[in-house]
Structure 1
Amino acid sequence: MFGTTQSRTVITRLNELGHEAVFVGGAVRDFLLGKEPTDIDIATSATPEQVKSVFRNTIDLGTEHGTVLVIESGEPIEVTTFRTEGTYSDNRRPDEVHFVTSLEEDLKRRDFTINALALRIDGEVVDPFKGREDLSTKTIRAVGNASERFNEDALRMIRAVRFVSVLGFELENSTKDSITLLASTVKTLSVERIKTEFDKLFQGTFAHDALKLLAETNLSEALPLFPPRQDTWLQCAPFRNSLEGWASLMIAGNYDASEVVRAYKLSNKERLYLQSIQKFFKIRQLRAYTIDDYYVADYSTLVSVEKMVRAFTNQVTIAEDEINTAMNGLPIHSKQELEVKGEQLMEWTGKKGGRWLGEAIQAIEHAVLYQVISNEQNAIKEWFLHEYECEK
């Protein structure tokens, strides 16, 4: 049975009032592929006003485009009125939207046949464009005329490549040809929309094939900071996560972290990760990791750096288990693990707090890390009073 209890309730209530209502979109596709569906959406012949009159708790998500968020027993469910769309003068948004009562007309406006599927509450699949056939042959095919679909929204071309990465499908020839012809129009897209697609592309099992397609279809020429070293970049895929994907783009293009952050408007978390990758990649071009490196770095960062070392340099790489052993073998992993605090140092010395306290804790941290002393209060006290203090 497809859908949550709440989503099935929404469809059932609309059906009972004489409105056609069906599950649509990627969730139906994933269900037919035997995957766990997410982001369940409903399409209906009911207008936004009719939808709002049926359900008590609703939120407008853009009623001019037909979408109402229905809150059913605590679950938010998007319900969108069947519609057709006018011209797309900005290669992104339709200039006008017309509500219709025909499900097939609604499915006709969608991007790819595998997404132009609907599922009725009784399990019947509505498939006017042979999407199930393309699912079985693992094909990405535009609905109708591919050039028209891509002229409507240029992001669909990047979405096509993203589906190659996530699903492992291939582009149908005319769809690929249209992307190659219209690739330059992705320059009209906001970088935020492109970034969202790349986050998903980088997480795909078949990211290698997707990156190769970006170059083959000329999309690479229209994208910000696309690395020129594509052959070696491909060796980094698949990626452990989207962060590693962005980091590999940075290293492949020999860009500074700040360039990538600005070009794709990355978050602070992503910026910090790229800066860390950049730092340790530079280190690895000169030497192996030290105790200090293992102490301050994240395991995932070093593992990703080694993948890039393997792809972009002639250095001998350090295996994951070696990194893991080195990190696990550290006597402490942060200052918070020290068996003494500033209060004990003040008690031992009779001094008040001040800059000396931070310097002393740092010295103890270093001594414990390099196993000059053990991380035990008595050992630290002995060393601190009879060696550290005496040397000052």
Structure 2
Amino acid sequence: MFGTSQSRKVIALLNDAGYEAVFVGGAVRDALLGKEPKDIDIATSATPEQVKSVFKNTIDLGTEHGTVLVIESGEPIEVTTYRTEGTYSDNRRPDEVQFVTSLEEDLKRRDFTINALALRIDGEVVDPFHGREDLSKKTIRAVGNASERFSEDALRMIRAVRFVSVLGFDLDSSTKASITELHTTIQTLSVERIKTEFDKLFQGAFAYGALELIAETKLSEGLPLYPAQQDEWFQCSPFRSSLDGWASLMIAGHFDASEVVSAYKLSNKERLFLQSVQKFYTIRQLRSYTIEDYYNAECSTLVTVEKLLGSLTTQQPIDEHEIRKAMDLLPIRSKQELAVKGKELMEWSGRRGGRWLGEAIQAIEHAVLYRVIPNEHYAIKEWFLHEYECKE
């Protein structure tokens, strides 16, 4: 049975009130593919005001575009009115939205046939554009005229190759030709929208084919930053995560971390990861990791570095098991794990805090890391008073 009990209840209540309501979108596609549906959405012939009249708890998410959030038994469920869209003068947003009562008219405005599917509460699939046939053929095909769909929203071209990566499907020939024809229009898109699609593309099991298509259709020419040596980048896939994907773009493209961060407006977390990968990738090209390298790096960073090293060089990479083993053997994994704190050093020495305190903690950290002393309170106290303080 499709959907949660709450979402099915929402459809049933709308039906009882005299309105048509169906499940739509990617959740229906995934269910037909035998996958666990996510982000269940409902479309209806009811207007936003009519939807709100049926349910007690609702939140407006953009009633001008027809979307109301219905809270049913604690579960938030998006309900959107059937609609058609006018012209897209900016290749992104419709200049106007008109509500309609025809489900087929609503499905006609969607991007690809595999997403233009609806499911009634009784299990009937509504498929006016042969989306199920394209699912069986593993084909991504635009609804209606591909050039019109891409002119409406240029992001759909990147979404097409993202679906290639996630689903392992092929592009329909006319859809691919239209992307090639209109590839320059992606320059009208915001970087944030492009970045979101690449995050998803990088997580697909078939990223290699998607990256090839980006080059073949010339979409690469309109992207903020793209590796010149494309074949090398392709070899880095598949990626373990979106972070892996961004790191591979940086290393394969011979870019500085700051260039990638700036070009795609990456987050602070992503910036720190790329900077760390860049640092340790440079180190590994010159020498093996030291104890301090293992201590200062995150496991995920080194795993990414080794994966890139294996893809882009002839060096033998270290596998994740060996990296984790080396890190597990460290006596401490951070300064916070030391058995003593700065307050105790001040008590033992009779000195006030100052620059010396940070230097002493650092010296203890180094001594414990290299097993000069065990990470034990008494041992550290003895070493600090009789060896470190004496040298001072």
- Alpha-carbon offset, residue 132 of structure 1: 0.7
Superposed CA deviations along residues 303-351 of structure 1, whole A, max 9, x for unmatched, are: 1011111222343322222212211111111111111222322232222
In the alignment, the residues of structure 1 paired with residue 321 and residue 196 of structure 2 have an alpha-carbon distance, to the nearest angstrom, of 33
The two structures, once aligned, show a CA RMSD in angstroms of: 1.2
Identify the residue that residue 121 of structure 1 maps to in structure 2: 121
TM-score by length of 1: 0.98
Q: Which residue of 1 aligns with 2:57?
A: 57
Q: Hey, what's the Cα distance between the residues in 2 that align with 1:164 and 1:78? A: 27
Distance 2:10 2:321 in 1: 51
1:101 counterpart letter in structure 2: T
SS at match of 1:129: coil
* 2:74 alignment counterpart: 74
Q: How much identity, in percent, do the aligned residues show?
A: 80
* Pairing of 1:1-392 with structure 2 (within 5 A): 1-392=1-392
Output the CA distance in 2 between the equivalents of 1:86 and 1:203: 33
How far is the alpha carbon of 1:353 from its aligned partner? 2.5
Equivalent AA in structure 1 for residue 310 of structure 2: R
Q: Could you tell me how far apart the structure 2 residues matched to 1:99 and 1:340 are? A: 67
Q: CA deviation at 1:180?
A: 0.9
- The Cα shift of 1:352 comes to 2.6
Q: Tell me, in whole angstroms, the C-alpha distance in 1 between the residues paired with 2:32 and 2:146.
A: 24
Distance in structure 1 (CA, Å) of the matches to 2:222 and 2:345: 60
Whether the 8 Å CA contact 2:239–2:245 is kept in 1: the answer is yes
2:338 aligned partner, one-letter code: L
1:247-300 deviation digits (Å, cap 9, x = unpaired): 111111111111111111111111111111111111112211111110010001
Work out the CA distance in 1 between the residues paired with 2:195 and 2:347.
Answer: 54
**Cα distance in 2 between the residues matched to 1:303 and 1:220:** 28
**How far apart are residue 384 of structure 1 and its match?**
1.5
Give the residue type in structure 1 aligned to 2:272.
Answer: L
Letter in 1 for 2:248: S
2: CA distance, partners of 1:25 / 1:191: 25
- How many residue pairs get aligned? The number is 392
The alignment partner of 2:179 has SS state of helix
C-alpha distance in structure 2 between counterparts of 1:151 and 1:302, whole Å? 42
* C-alpha contact 2:236 2:312 (8 A) present in aligned 1: no
Q: Which amino acid aligns with 2:254?
A: N
Counterpart amino acid of 1:318? Answer: I
2:286 match: secondary structure: coil
CA–CA distance in structure 1, aligned partners of residues 110 and 341 of structure 2? 62
The one-letter amino acid paired with 2:340 is: V
With the length of structure 2 as denominator, give the TM-score of the two structures. Answer: 0.98
Per-residue CA distance 1:6-64 (angstroms, 9 max, x = gap): 11111111101110000000010011111111111111111111111111122222212
Q: Distance in 1 between matches of 2:20 and 2:297?
A: 56
Residues in 1 aligned to 2:80 and 2:374: alpha-carbon distance in whole angstroms: 65
